[in-house]
Amino acid sequence: MDTSSAAKREIAAAAARLVVEEGLEYGPAKRRALRELGLPARTALPGNDEIEASVREYIDVFCADTQPRELLALRRLALEWMERMAPFRPHLGGAVWHGTATRLSDIYIQLFCDDSKSAEISLIDHRVDYEPRMVTGFHGEQVEALSVHAMSRELGEEVGVHLLVYDLDDQRGALKPDAQGRAPRGDMAAVRRLIEKDEQA
């Protein structure tokens, strides 16, 4: 194995620990892992697919007894919010969709709206406290997110739920398979199927 491959594996392993134990997103976890390992700033970083693989390995080794229950709780909470936001064609993405989430993970739901303000108006009408912010979207662009703190009864704590607002036209490109041939996000029916599968496991 060459030096750069070895460094990438080391960074991926360290980043995976930060993702699982501290709830960091992949980007910040990679950068912090680089610093903690004392590697040069220009060291090539592993891709997100490599981080995800390391996260799965970490969960299998250290969290196999707790993670499945936490993931199921997060998926149930995500479905509650998708049902609340059903008029805006919600799709679940991120770690909760892909199955690598733990109790520290946030929930990311993409909304595809005819009118970009309609989802925000719906939250206001239902007296939901939210914080508007800009986040990185699935094409690397800046997208408005409506972030709420939602109580998970199963976990006994609040979870960050981020509703990312997209134009309706963006929905077509949102469902193209990722580099591994997987659906990058799923609608309510797909999430219900995941929950049923989790409950049977």
Per-residue pLDDT tens over the stretch 58-70: 999 999 999 999 9
Does 24 share its domain with 81? no
Reported confidence tier of residue 2, pLDDT bands at 50, 70, 90? low
Per-residue pLDDT tens over the stretch 98-109: 999 999 999 999
Report the percent of the chain where pLDDT is more than 90: 82
Does 178 share its domain with 119? yes
- Alpha helix (H) residue ranges in 41-135: 48-62, 67-84, 94-98, 118-125
Reported confidence tier of residue 163, pLDDT bands at 50, 70, 90? very high
Does 118 share its domain with 176? yes
Range of 193's domain? 67-200
The CA distance from 129 to 11, in Å, is: 38
Does 51 share its domain with 137? no
Does 152 share its domain with 74? yes
3-state secondary structure of 145: strand
Mean pLDDT of 120-127: 95
pLDDT at 1 over 60: no
- Number of structural domains, the chain? 2
Average pLDDT, the chain: 93
Does 55 share its domain with 77? no
What pLDDT score was predicted for residue 23? 92
pLDDT at 92 over 80: yes
The CA distance from 125 to 37, in Å, is: 48
What pLDDT score was predicted for residue 177? 86
Q: What is the domain-level CATH number for residue 151? A: 3.30.460
Reported confidence tier of residue 181, pLDDT bands at 50, 70, 90? confident
More confidently predicted of 73 and 174: 73
Reported confidence tier of residue 116, pLDDT bands at 50, 70, 90? confident
Does 34 share its domain with 92? no
pLDDT at 156 over 80: yes
Does 103 share its domain with 16? no
Per-residue pLDDT tens over the stretch 24-50: 999 999 999 999 999 998 999 999 999
Does 88 share its domain with 47? no
What pLDDT score was predicted for residue 169? 87
Of 161, 61, 149, 73, nearest to 111 by C-alpha is 161
Buried b (16+ CB within 10 A) or exposed e, 16-34: bbbbbeebbbbeebbbbbb
Does 106 share its domain with 51? no
